[in-house]
Amino acid sequence: MKPLIADINYIEQYTQKFITLLIEYSPKLIGAFILLFVGLWVTKLINRFARKLMVKRDVEPTLVEFLSDIIFWALRIVLFIAVISKLGIESSSFVAILGAAGLAIGLSLQGSLSNFAGGMLIILFKPFKLGDTIEAQGVSGMVIDIQIFVTQLLTANNQVIYIPNGALSNGTIINFSQQQTRRTDLTIGISYDTNIKQAKDIITEIIDRHPKIHKNPHATVTVRELTDSGIKIAIRAWTANEDFADVTADLLEQSKTAFDQAGISIQPFLKEFSKS
């Protein structure tokens, strides 16, 4: 019976200690939870207000998204430190530990830091913005989001591509949307038996009739190259950026149709001939 009574006494002592600790720390726990929930709400409110303010001040959408992300995470870190301070943990010591941990993490995540720096460079120098169509790192698409570490592109076949900002900022970027006009650079091959003037006149007539091709700068149709397999005719016509794809397709289709009616055959370029 004595061991059983001793065990009961131990349980009562631990229970009493637990209740005492719970009573002692319950105000801190309740305060920390209240601070956490209120802080999360205030964080969202501040972030939403900052976003609306930037939009109202006509800040570029790219910068709005980027700064919103930075404000969001900065407020979350401040809230986290405030909550642990409310629980009685010394914030200064924790900040020191957090700084040391941040340094260690930073050294191990140098790639991520370079992506962050790349994102800052993109925002600073603005090689592109949201909605622009670009080509970079071997892929092309429309910019739909610029985040802290990556940039998202939407391809023509509706695929989302994530490009690290570090590689993006250090590589070559082709921006197809920065200028309002764009030139089509097409090449059509004809045989040596074809009358060059007739072929050029047919293409020029097609260009003159097309409503989306600009008259100024004037389009040109010239002989680009004489190869072993045929004559290369270069077509250079200016159009609005948004009409580029349609104009390119129209020129190719209408040139083929007109050549067929005139009895002119399009000559393929045989690479094995040109190499020899």
pLDDT value, residue 109: 52
Query: What pLDDT score was predicted for residue 118?
Result: 87
pLDDT value, residue 176: 92
The pLDDT value given to residue 64:
77
Rounded average pLDDT per 10-residue block, the chain, 276 residues:
56 69 71 83 86 78 75 83 74 64 58 79 86 93 89 94 92 92 93 92 95 93 90 95 93 94 82 43
Domains of the chain, start order: 2-108 (1.10.287.1260), 126-175 (2.30.30.60), 181-275 (3.30.70.100)
pLDDT in the model for residue 84: 77
Q: What is the pLDDT of residue 207?
A: 96
- pLDDT, residue 51, reads 83
SS (H, E, C) the chain: CHHHHHHHHHHHHHHHHHHHHHHHHHHHHHHHHHHHHHHHHHHHHHHHHHHHHHHHCCCCHHHHHHHHHHHHHHHHHHHHHHHHHHCCCCHHHHHHHHHHHHHHHHHHCHHHHHHHHHHHHHHHHCCCCCCCEEEECCEEEEEEEECCCEEEEECCCCCEEEEEHHHHHHCCEEECCCCCEEEEEEEEEECCCCCHHHHHHHHHHHHHHCCCECCCCCCEEEEEEECCCCEEEEEEEEEEHHHHHHHHHHHHHHHHHHHHHHCCCECCCCHHHHHC
